[in-house]
Amino acid sequence: MERPRHQGMAKNTYMRWRLPLVCLLWEVAMIILFGVFVRFSPEADAHWEEEKQKMNVTSDIENDFYFRYPSFQDVHVMIFVGFGFIMMFLKRYGFGAVGFNFLLAAFGIQWALLMQGWFHSFKSGKILIGVENLINADFCVGSACIAFGAILGKTSPIQLLVMTLFQVTLFAVNEYILLNLLHVKDAGGSMTIHIFGAYFGLTVTRILYRPNLEQSKDKQGSVYHSDLFAMIGTLYLWIYWPSFNSAISEHGDAQHRAAINTYCSLAACVLTTVAFSSMLQKKGKLDMVHIQNATLAGGVAVGTSAEMMLTPYGSLIVGFISGIVSTVGYVYLTPFLESRLHIQDTCGIHNLHALPGLIGGIVGAITAAAATEDVYGKEGIIKAFDFTGPYQTRTPSVQGGFQAAGIVVSVLIAVAGGSLVGAILKLPVWGDPAAENCFEDDVYWEV
C-alpha cells in the first residue's frame, strides 16, 4: 500500500504534530481576535427593530441580507466547489485539490473578516459584520485559491496555510490602497482578486522553482474521470460568475447591470475558446484544458467594468478577446514561462487570471474614462463612481487614470509580497514533498 518512494529521501513530509499545531493555534488566535473585535452589524443585530426606525424603513425586506444573500451563496459555491473541483483535473491529486482548498479557504475567510474588517468596517473599536463582509471575505480568499492553482501539488498543507495568512493580509492592504486611497471601482475584483492573486501565486511558484519536477511528470496529467470532475468546478464558476461580479455592487441597477454584462461576456468567451482550442491543435480536436479554463476568462475580464455602463455588446467584445488571449496563453505562454522563466504554473493561472485580469483592469479604466452624463445621467454618474465628498470634483477621465494606477499597484504589491512569502515558504521546515512525490495524494492523505 505504502510505496517507499513516497517517504522522500531528503524530505520529511510527516505532518502529525506540525499541522495540528498550526491549525489549533491559529484557530485559538481567531477566537481571541473575534472575541475582542467582531460583532454583528446593525442589520444582523437583535437591535434591528430600532435600527429600522433610525433608517426610516418599515419592512424587513430592506435588510441588506435580502439584497445580497442569494449572490453570497453563489460566491460561496464558487470558492469551495468551483475552485475545489476545477483543480481536480490531476489524476492523483483529487483529495489535495478539494481538501486543501477547503482548508485554506476556511481559515482564510476568518482572517479576512478581521483584516478587511479593520480596514473597512471598524466602528468604535469593533468590526461590525454583515452579509457584505462574508462576501468580501470569500472574495479575498478567492485570491488565495487562485495562487494555490500555481503551486497545486507541490506544497504541504502548512505551506498553504502560511501563504494564506500572508496573502490575505497583503490583499487587504492592496484593497485598501485601491478602494480607499485611489478611490478605484473594482466590484468584481479584476485587480484586487485576479491580478493580485495571480501575480502573487506566480511569484511564489517562481521562487519555489523545482528543477527536477519532470520526475513526477507522469502524474501531472489528467485522466478521463478527473477531467469530468474538473468540469463541475468550471461550470459552477461559469454559471455563478454573474453573481460574483454583482455581489457587492450598489443595490438596484448596478447589481442588475453587472450580472447582465458578465453573462454576455462569458457567453462570447466560450465561442472564441472553442475556436482557438480547435485551431491551435494540429488535428483540430478540442482540448479539455482550454474548455475547463479559458471559458472563464470572460468573467475575469469584466470584473472591474461589469457594474459600469459597459453595455452588452461591449461585454461580448471583452469576452471575445479574453477567450482568445487565454487559450493562446495555454498553448504558447505556459510552456514558455516554465522553460524560460522557471515559472511552474500547475493550473495555468497566468492564462486564466493574470492576463484576463489585466484586460479587466484596462477595460475598467477605459470604461470609467469614457463615462458621460449622457449615458449615466447626472445622478447616475455620481452614484456609479461615488463622486461624493472629497471626490466630488473628480472627472471620469481622472477616474480612468486612477483605475490604471490600480493595476500597477496591484502587480507591484503582488510581486513584492509573493517574493517575501516565497522566501518564507522555501524554509525547509514546512514539510513539502520531494519532486518525485509531487501531484500525489498519498503523501498527505490516507488513500
Site mask, its own copies, residues 73-92, x = CB under 8 A?
Answer: xx-xx--xx--xx--x----
Quick check: 234 and 386 in contact, CB under 8 A? no
Q: Is 369 in the site for its own copies (CB under 8 A)?
A: no
Binding residue for its own copies, selected from 279, 341, 423, 427, defined by CB under 8 A: 279
| Binds its own copies by CB under 8 A, chosen from 9, 54, 125, 285 | 285
Our finding on whether 366 is near its own copies (CB under 8 A) is no
Among 11, 63, 399, 418, binds its own copies (CB under 8 A): 63
Beta strands in 200-252 (DSSP E): none
Q: How far apart are CA 297 and CA 265, in angstroms?
A: 9
What mask, x for binding its own copies by CB under 8 A, covers residues 316 to 355? xx--x-----------------------------------
Q: Which residues of 35-70 are buried (b: 16+ CB within 10 A; e: fewer)?
A: eebbbebbbbeeebeeebeeeeeeeeeebebebbee
Stretch touching its own copies by CB under 8 A, among 199-207, 276-284, 360-368, 407-415: 276-284
- Binding residues among 404-423 for its own copies as defined by CB under 8 A: none
CB of 227 to its own copies, least distance (A): 7
**Beta carbon of residue 208, minimum distance to its own copies (angstroms, whole number):** 22
3-state secondary structure of 122: strand
Q: In what order do the strands lie in the sheet with 38-40?
A: 38-40, 126-129, 122-123
For residue 222, give the DSSP letter.
B
- The residues that bridge with 122 in the sheet, in sequence order, are 127
Cα distances from 52 to residues 65, 128, 367, in angstroms, run 14, 17, 37
DSSP 255-269: HHHHHHHHHHHHHHH
Q: Which is nearer to its own copies, 189 or 431 (CB)?
A: 431
Stretch that binds its own copies, among 70-78, 168-176, 201-209, 412-420 (CB under 8 A): 70-78
Instruction: For the segment 205-224, give every residue that binds its own copies (CB under 8 A).
Output: 224
Minimum distance between the CB of residue 345 and its own copies, rounded to whole angstroms?
20
Tell me the closest approach of the beta carbon of residue 111 to its own copies, in angstroms. 10
What single-letter amino acid sits at 56? N
x/- track of binding to its own copies for residues 231-270 (CB under 8 A): xx--xx-xxx-xx-------xxx-xxx-xx--xx-xxx-x
| Overall size of the chain counted in residues | 447
The contact pattern for its own copies, residues 291-310, with x = CB under 8 A and - = no contact, is x---x-------------x-
Which residues in the 132-151 window bind its own copies by CB under 8 A?
A: 134
- Work out which of 286, 341, 408, 427 binds its own copies, going by CB under 8 A: 286
Cβ atoms of 324 and 292 within 8 Å: the answer is: no
How distant is the alpha carbon of residue 84 from its chain centre? 12
55 binds its own copies (CB under 8 A): no
151 to 190: interface string for its own copies, x by CB under 8 A: ------x---------------------------------
Element containing residue 126 per DSSP (H, E):
strand 126-129
- Residue 27 CA to residue 128 CA, distance in Å, equals 20
- Please give the sequence-ordered ranges of beta strands (E in DSSP) within 136-270, or none if there are none: none
Q: Which member of 87, 90, 109, 325 binds its own copies (CB under 8 A)? A: 109
Choosing from 55, 181, 341, 375, the residue that interacts with its own copies (CB under 8 A) is: 375
Exposed/middle/buried for residue 278 (C-beta within 10 Å: 0-12, 13-18, 19+): middle
Segment near its own copies (CB under 8 A); pick from 180-188, 345-353, 394-402, 437-445: 437-445
State whether residue 58 is helix, strand or coil. coil
Q: At 39, give phi and psi (nearest 5°).
A: -135, 175
Query: Least distance to its own copies from the beta carbon of 8, Å?
Result: 13
Q: How far apart are CA 392 and CA 123, in angstroms?
A: 25
Which among 35-43, 193-201, 361-369, 393-401 is the span making contact with its own copies, rule CB under 8 A?
35-43
β-bridge mates for residue 129, sequence order: 40
Q: Does 47 bind its own copies (CB under 8 A)?
A: yes
* Residue 342: closest CA among 194, 150, 152, 159: 150
Number of residues that bind its own copies (CB under 8 A): 131
Q: Does 225 bind its own copies (CB under 8 A)?
A: yes
Q: Which is nearer to its own copies, 60 or 218 (CB)?
A: 60
Phi, then psi, of 237 in degrees rounded to 5: -65, -45
Binding region for its own copies (CB under 8 A) out of 24-32, 175-183, 351-359, 413-421: 24-32
